[in-house]
Chains A and B, each alone.
Chain A
Amino acid sequence: MTKLLISLILASGLFATQTMAYDFGKVLEDAAKKKIEDVKNGGETPATATVPDKATSPAPESGTSSATTSAATAAPPPAQPEFNWKNPSKEEEIALGREITGSLLGAAPLVKDEALQKYVNQVGRWVANQSERADLPWKFGVIESTDINAFAAPGGYVLITKGLYQKLHSEAQLAGVLGHEIAHVVKKHQLKVLQKQQLLGYGAGKLSGLFGKNDKLAKKALGTGAEISARGLDKDAEFEADRMGMVLATRAGYDAYGLADVLQTIGQTNKSDSSVALLFKTHPAPDERLARLGDSVGGSLDNIKAGKTLENRLYKLN
């Protein structure tokens, strides 16, 4: 019922905002179209989704009566501030990312090494400065896990596992890895997936009241927040993050091939080693990523002055 309600609000809102040149327009449109299709296929009142007056006719199915309610309540603004899934503010984006990241930290805490945490924040912050979202309060952390992986969450949260950190040989390589994650945030890759889910009605209701009167996040919103990190993005989002990550690190003055080095290393890890299980589940194969990166780079870096690798400044773990 809640699902239908959301889809109806979405469907009616969609036509009013069609001219809006907004980044999420396509996602929303796809989501709405799919939902409308679902409703059609389910034999429920399809075209009436945007026609409130149909609601006056008697409804044998409960789904239709909820449509009545939603159509009626869609007009006045809700009493309680709700999470604006269609067009989240920067603050909402950060709050969402905090929830996801806090949950990831519940699965694997930060490595207890203040100097290490400071160091990754320095490198990460500098790379993030090169992006179009330098205004975000970027936060980086190394987490206590032998897995080889890294995570990004909306609003500027980036985590890298100790297992991956220990594979690094230079600051440029760290910059490349962080650059990939920063790119996910800049392009709102995870946020778009969450928006689509919410607008399609998956887990709808869980997030209603996410922001209370005091703008405080309800705990346990999003199911368990880290769950999103266990699901992959689409391949194109990953290739895009590779291209952007490489460029961000290069702009920051690092050797352009740091990320590629790390992909080489990961590519040499035995595919059946459980330390790369989640990474390989959520990302295209390293070979494919390298090849795609090579196709995109071509000769475009030929005239770029060689950047720094800074092997010696890479913070050494005990």
Chain B
Amino acid sequence: MKDYLKLLILVGLATPILVFADAGTALKTDTVRAEPFADAKTVGNINKNDSVDILNKKGAWLQIKTKKTSGWVRLLSVKRGAATVSNNAKGVIDVASGRAGTGQVVSTTGIRGLSAEDLKAAKFNEDEMKKMESHTLSASDGQSFASAGGLNTVKLAYLKGAK
């Protein structure tokens, strides 16, 4: 707990770094490294479904702590949240959001779902379609918008599917 406090203070001082103290779960086996770099020293590893504490984030790396080890792992190897989520709240949520078990809206509190049934029953709406079409932009419109935001293109090939 004290460490946790210290960390919050520390992290709070370094402006661009996000504050994390989340529970996480390992999505796969991966190497834990001393620093957030691919060639940093290996300090341990995580296995699928291991519980981890997420302490920090830097680029594509997460700083984590497990029962066995602590260090940095790749961002995509860990999911935020505990391994199992309770379903106890189901009924409460359904009632609170004004939905019946069918996923259909049963009240008019502004909640508007989009279930498979809704889609099956849907009728073409020409007016809305025309509205959508009226917003169509050209490739150069996109380019101007990107320039305004300081976005520069990066050369990167598509990734191959794993396995």
Contacts and interface: CB of A to CB of B under 8 A. Distances in A.
A293 interface: yes
Interface in A81-109: 98-99, 101-109
B123 A106 contact: yes
A126 B146 contact: yes
Contacts of B81: 267-268
B114 A304 contact: no
Nearest to A312: B149
A250 B120 contact: no
Contacts of A110: 128, 131-132
Contacts of B77: 291, 294
Nearest to A105: B128
A312 B99 CA distance: 34
A226 interface: yes
Contacts of A157: 132
A229 B87 CA distance: 27
Interface residues of B, number: 67
Interface in B119-163: 119-126, 128-129, 131-133, 135-139, 141-143, 145-146, 149-163
B27 interface: yes
Contacts of A229: 119
B113 interface: yes
B114 A294 contact: no
A98 B125 CA distance: 10
Ranked nearest first, the 9 interchain pairs of A and B with the lowest CB-CB distance are: A294-B76, A295-B162, A253-B151, A125-B142, A107-B122, A105-B128, A230-B116, A126-B142, A122-B145
Interface of B: 27-28, 38, 59-60, 74-77, 79-81, 85, 87, 89-90, 93-94, 97, 99, 103, 110-116, 118-126, 128-129, 131-133, 135-139, 141-143, 145-146, 149-163
